[in-house]
Structure 1
Amino acid sequence: MPVKGAKGVKFVYIGQDHVNSVAVAGTFNSWNHQADFMQQTGEHCWELERRISKGRHLYKFVVNGVQWIVDPQNPNISEDGQNNSAMTVTENGEVIIRTTAISAQNPGFIYENYTAIDSPEWIRKAVIYELHLRAFHENGFTGLAQKIGYFKQLGVNVLWLMPFQQVGMQKRIGKYGDPYAVKDYYSIDPAFGTAEELKAMINEAHANGIRVIMDWVMNRGSVDHILTESHPEYFTRNENNEVYYEVPNRAYFAGLNFDHPDLRRYIKKAMSYWLTEFQFDGFRLDDSDITPSDFLTEIRDELKREGRDVVLISQAYDEYHHVDSCDLTYDGSLRSIIKDVAEGALSQKGVMEIYHSYTYSFPRGSLRMRWLEEKEQSRVVEYLGPRLAKPAATLLLTVEGVPFIMMGQEFNERTFNTWQSLFDEYRLEWTPFDQDLFDHYRFLIRLRTEHAAFWDGELIFIENEEDKVLSYIRKSKDEEFLVIVSFSEAPLVLRFEEKSIAERIAGAAREVVYRSGYFNPGDKHPPDWRIQPYESLIYRIH
């Protein structure tokens, strides 16, 4: 487990026989497994001490150059779905390891000492939809403008456009290459349309109450980026003085040298261009967990000069980003929590402890962007199975935070297989279309956006005696809802653990707002606290 050392963070690895080398690779060194080798200090003991900037960092040990493993002594595993060890380094160099001992009664250091930046109301009540233009519609910006009615029907109010700029040719993989290997930050790939068509699409979205966020590629450009010739000093270079990207297995990228102030000015100016010329409403910052945090703060300060409620979404799990720069950070914990609950590996009390450990380790008022799918993960139906898709959606859309949906997730699209699907010719497969799942998402999205209890209210867990059923109150000053979600394959009759709570709910006038699951459609009103397999029940409490 990492601890504060005399010169920085101290890592210790206790290995087995036949270990010849151990390195530490993580967000603090761009996952370069050849940058920080540990020194052998005993027969099976390896140690490393290095300076690490404040913030949350993910890492693994790399044994013998090939075996990437989590830190056996660190119980905290990242919520990014990639099984990384995690730690937070404070501004004083202390190392925080998040555990389930963190709670309302025992809040963490950052919760006690920091408050999140104040974010505009529109992002707090957002339901975000991520898409790639080529995959979503064959007619680019114009085709997307024609699909605004679809988004209104679904109820989402923020669109997130994956990169649409020109992609580099050198070392390209696939027909189209990685869409994040941008060759020119100011460009538009003509395959998607013109600047005028992009502006028209954004105007159409805005006219229908939908905001539009641009995906911004941090840290890197394509290896043949237009600046590599005119400003080679803007890029990181290897021992042969060639531009390169430190993250392994990304030979088609050139890393950015953030030590150069002119590069920082160039990026901030480019971002401002997209805000002013096209009226984007914010940016999702790709790989912001390996971006210098002071530069993220610079970006926020620069963009706030536009005088609009612009938001920044950090693809990181860093508590400090809420203090200095970003409105949202990622949270993918629901995906693994649901799987563990359904498989009986996690109790209801365990869910509550995990949920509260996140809440009370982040700055007060932090907004987490919660997801079941994201571009580096498989489809949630593939991961959880089809019967868990609906209760998973219920949880996503009724807990705290800002939910985001990956294109096609709402109708059980099966062919998308991480962002690498986009390297070649790819379209979402719209048939078959799971209308039942779509309607489930549509109802819950509207419930969420129309009732402040879900986007601005508190969440209070109500314990019941079934580990595969989660129950909780969502409450604002004017409304109160009870949500019950079953991840069980069996029908159940719930009993609540606290008699006083059970009596209050049982005695209150309550209205069934929604029920969903595998049940007889003719059975419109369930007996008290009876829930069918994989069903969701939502009551309004009067």
Structure 2
Amino acid sequence: MRRTSFLLTALLALGACAAPNAATHGSAMAPAAAGMTASADAGSHPAWARNAVMYEVNVRQYTPEGTFAALERHLPRLKAMGVDVLWLMPIQPIGVKNRKGSLGSYYSISNYTAVNPEYGSDADFKRFVEAAHRQGMKVVLDWVANHTAFDHGWITAHPDWYVHRADGTISNARDNEGRETDWTDVAELDYDRPAMRQAMLADMRWWLDTMGLDGFRCDVAGGVPMDFWMQARAALKAAKPDLFLLAEAESPEMHTAFDATYGWELHHLLNEIAQGKKGTGELDGYFARQAQRFPRDAIRMYFTSNHDENSWNGTEFERMGANHVPAFVLSATAQNSMPLLYTGQEASLRKRLRFFDKDTVDWSGPSLADFYRAMFELKHTQPALANGGWGAPQTALRTDAGERVYAFTRTQGTNTVLVAVNFGDLAAHATYQDLPRPGTYTDWFGRAPVALAASGTLDIPAHGYRVLVR
């Protein structure tokens, strides 16, 4: 969901939502700090999430038809590319009152337990989920628990379930400091109302029982009280033990209820490095902070684009230029990472998709599918790169290549992966020291053997990368 422009709150305490908001809707990483918040039922992540790669689907814009039936035709292609989890942006009916644009915001929901007829019927969606499952993919739905449309049935039936202004009118959605936003199409829910909480849980459960969903990506998760998310996790996992929950938030405490959180801070840091505003030395500090603050088995969703970034801040080509490729390599291989790919990235989508109107993806751009397929195969086959605590810690590999190059290794048992990325305009001939496991590696993309001594040199193309496995 797109928010008003208050600053990134990735490092704030419990309840802080880490998504950036805009005008509309050299050493091994340190162990986790003593006394850190444990993740939800530590070790309770579903087994299928171990090496999973997530793909965000914008149903409205994915095809000219904008329907589940049309989207279903893409499932074999997505499976062949290596996608494991489909995250669908909200598919419920969109409110008409105070609507923005011609079609409205996906996140202005007028009925939690219905399907937007523009996309198809309930039966169409159930067939889509079943087809995805036959392909071996999981399906998670964007869940908007923070607010509803102003013409949701609860507005008239249960006006006390909403936050009210001093004059008695229902408030727009609010930010994490309790201030009203310019999301004039959505009304803020009041989590002091136990009956509303129960209704919300029942509506979430409906999607598990009726449609067979595998989990939820929870919008504005930091705006909803943590005790509700704890309640939701317990209730929903009782119904579906291998449930997966992703929070649109970045506070470590969110992992008491969620399997995964957003990596907004790394995303913005990579934007700045790609643009030359910061050097790669900043990455050491970032990864050290994550290791200190987050549970060891926390899964972090890292990305170079998503629906918010694409529509409001620009495509990865606008924000990162040619460096979108090394940025993705780093984000997909970093410790704890579950990589995300957004609608159209595999077709070099260079357009900001309109948020409130129809704007079909242009699938004719230069294909990056082979690159992403290779990256996802890397993720699936290298134990050191497994998600969350299943994977290995990372150790920075020191080089003399300066502030445009970053390199690290991750080792799990007999498996080692060396990743080196170059954000510079020139090829780098990097001298490295203290490689933990010297020996013969395989260049993942070139498939050629590479002999690496404990100290030596490594060539990295401009705006490029090297991934070596052993």
Alignment TM class, shorter chain as reference: 0.7 to 0.9
Residues 82 and 377 of structure 2 are in contact (CA less than 8 Å); yes or no, is this contact kept in structure 1? yes
2:271 and 2:111 map into 1 onto residues whose CA distance is: 41
Q: What amino acid is aligned across from residue 283 of structure 1 in structure 2?
A: F
1:166 and 1:180 map into 2 onto residues whose CA distance is: 10
CA RMSD of aligned residues (A): 2.8
What's the offset of the Cα at 1:57? 2.8
- Asked if 1:376 is matched to 2:376, the reply is no
1:298 and 1:114 map into 2 onto residues whose CA distance is: 16
What's the offset of the Cα at 1:336? 2.9
Question: Any residues of structure 2 matched to 1:47-446 within 5 Å, and which?
Answer: 55=14, 57=16, 80-81=19-20, 104=30, 108=33, 111=36, 114-116=38-40, 117-118=42-43, 119-137=45-63, 138-245=65-172, 246=174, 247-323=180-256, 325-377=257-309, 378-385=314-321, 387-400=322-335, 401-417=337-353, 421-431=354-364, 433-435=365-367, 437-446=368-377
What's the offset of the Cα at 1:81? 4.8
2:275 and 2:350 map into 1 onto residues whose CA distance is: 23
Structure-2 residue corresponding to 1:532? 461
1:303 and 1:153 map into 2 onto residues whose CA distance is: 31
Structure-2 residue corresponding to 1:49? none
What's the offset of the Cα at 1:471? 1.3
Q: What amino acid is aligned across from residue 48 of structure 2 in structure 1?
A: W
CA displacement 1:278-329 (0-9 Å, x = unmatched):
1000001100111011011111111011143001111111211112x11111
What's the offset of the Cα at 1:430? 1.3
Structure-2 residue corresponding to 1:513? 444
What's the offset of the Cα at 1:26? 8.8
Calculate percent identity across the aligned residue pairs: 25
**In structure 1, which of residues 451, 473, 482 is the aligned counterpart of residue 409 of structure 2?**
473
2:119 and 2:39 map into 1 onto residues whose CA distance is: 41
What's the offset of the Cα at 1:131? 1.4
Structure-2 residue corresponding to 1:501? 435
Number of aligned residue pairs: 437
Q: Larger relative contact order (C-alpha < 8 A, sep ≥ 6)? A: 2
What's the offset of the Cα at 1:104? 1.5
Structure-2 residue corresponding to 1:490? 426
2:50 and 2:370 map into 1 onto residues whose CA distance is: 23
Higher mean alpha-carbon deviation, 527-536 vs 193-202, is at: 527-536
Residues 54 and 86 of structure 2 are in contact (CA less than 8 Å); yes or no, is this contact kept in structure 1? yes
Q: What amino acid is aligned across from residue 457 of structure 1 in structure 2?
A: G
Residues 135 and 422 of structure 1 are in contact (CA less than 8 Å); yes or no, is this contact kept in structure 2? no
Q: What amino acid is aligned across from residue 127 of structure 1 in structure 2?
A: V
CA change 1:427–1:445 in 2 (3 A) is same
1:471 and 1:515 map into 2 onto residues whose CA distance is: 18
Residues 27 and 57 of structure 1 are in contact (CA less than 8 Å); yes or no, is this contact kept in structure 2? no
Gap runs ≥5 in structure 2: 1-5, 175-179
2:67 and 2:190 map into 1 onto residues whose CA distance is: 33
1:27 and 1:340 map into 2 onto residues whose CA distance is: 14
What's the offset of the Cα at 1:123? 2.0
**In structure 1, which of residues 457, 465, 468 is the aligned counterpart of residue 391 of structure 2?**
457
Structure-1 residue corresponding to 2:177? none
What's the offset of the Cα at 1:153? 2.1
Residues 413 and 429 of structure 1 are in contact (CA less than 8 Å); yes or no, is this contact kept in structure 2? yes
Residues 27 and 289 of structure 1 are in contact (CA less than 8 Å); yes or no, is this contact kept in structure 2? no
Whose Rg is larger?
1
2:274 and 2:304 map into 1 onto residues whose CA distance is: 15
2:112 and 2:39 map into 1 onto residues whose CA distance is: 33
CA change 1:354–1:235 in 2 (3 A) is same
What's the offset of the Cα at 1:391? 1.1
CA change 1:27–1:488 in 2 (3 A) is closer
